[in-house]
């Protein structure tokens, strides 16, 4: 399975870059899925809806489905968060899975970095980060792309994964 990560500090442009990469990769004919890590509690369900009522009643998993989409919610009940590999094993086969987050995992990544945030560049000390997409020209031992140059970043991902267009 072809996976490629987008990591960076909060408000560094990760989600925007993932969104643009999905659009550009699909425009070029590739099938793409995404996996997003959240550092906070979140809920895709709504209070009072049947699926929410099932979860509150104690269901370990709730799968809701329609003619247009489905969503599987799994309650961990205090157990450890699943590993990235476990989550990837649940994904349907596609050409590319873009992973937002999981900066400490070992998959290949691009870091997003913005000067205004004042955070250190993670790539300086992490060899799983193959490139940086930034709002500033940086001198690093890896390629540095303009954060808004979606075409160049897409080409880099395609080249690294050796995808055929």
Written in H, E and C, the secondary structure of 11-80 is CCCHHHHHHHHHHHHHHCCCCEEEEECCCCCCCCCCCCCHHHHHHHHCCCEEEEECCCCEEEEECCCCCC
Q: How high is the pLDDT of residue 127? A: 94
Does residue 54 fall inside a structural domain? no
Output the CA angle 1-105-112, nearest 5 degrees: 95
Number of domains in the chain: 1
What's the CA gap between 92 and 58, in Å, rounded?
27
Phi, psi angles (nearest 5°) of residue 12: -100, -5
Give CA–CA dist 75/162, Å, rounded.
37
- Closest by CA to 2, choosing from 37, 36, 32, 38, is 32
The answer to whether position 50 is within a domain reads no
41-70 residue pLDDT tens? 656 777 888 888 888 888 888 888 889 988
Angstrom distance (rounded) from CA 78 to CA 80: 7
How much is the pLDDT for 43? 63
Q: Is residue 92 part of a domain?
A: yes
Confidence at residue 154, expressed as pLDDT on a 0 to 100 scale: 98
Residue 36 lies in a domain: yes
Q: What's the pLDDT tens digit per position in 139-162?
A: 999 999 999 999 999 999 999 999
Domain interval for residue 138: 3-42+79-161
Beta bridge partners of 100: 6, 36
Q: How many residues does the chain have?
A: 165
Q: What is the pTM of this model?
A: 0.87
CATH value at residue 89: 3.40.50.300
Residues 78-116 pLDDT 10s: 788 889 999 999 899 999 999 999 999 999 999 999 999
On whether residue 95 sits in a domain, the answer given is: yes
Query: What's the confidence (pLDDT) of residue 70?
Result: 84
Cα–Cα distance, 106 to 20 (Å, whole number) = 23
- The pLDDT score that the predictor gives to residue 39 is 66
Who wins on pLDDT, 135 or 43?
Answer: 135
């Amino acid at each position: 399975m072809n996976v490629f990560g987008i990591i960076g500090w909060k408000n560094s442009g990760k989600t925007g870059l993932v969104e643009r990469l999905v659009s550009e990769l699909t425009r070029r004919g590739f099938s793409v899925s995404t996996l997003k890590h959240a550092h906070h509690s979140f809920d895709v369900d709504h209070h009072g809806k049947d699926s929410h009522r099932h979860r509150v009643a104690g269901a370990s998993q709730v799968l809701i489905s329609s003619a247009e989409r489905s969503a599987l919610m799994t309650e961990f009940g205090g157990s450890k968060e699943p590993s990235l590999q476990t989550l990837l094993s649940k994904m349907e086969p596609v050409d590319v899975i873009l992973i937002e987050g999981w900066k400490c995992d070992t998959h290949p990544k691009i870091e997003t970095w913005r000067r205004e945030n004042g955070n250190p560049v993670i790539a300086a000390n992490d060899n799983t980060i193959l490139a940086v997409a930034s709002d500033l020209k940086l001198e690093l031992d890896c390629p540095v792309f303009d954060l808004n140059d979606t075409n160049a970043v897409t080409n880099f991902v395609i080249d690294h994964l050796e995808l055929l267009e």
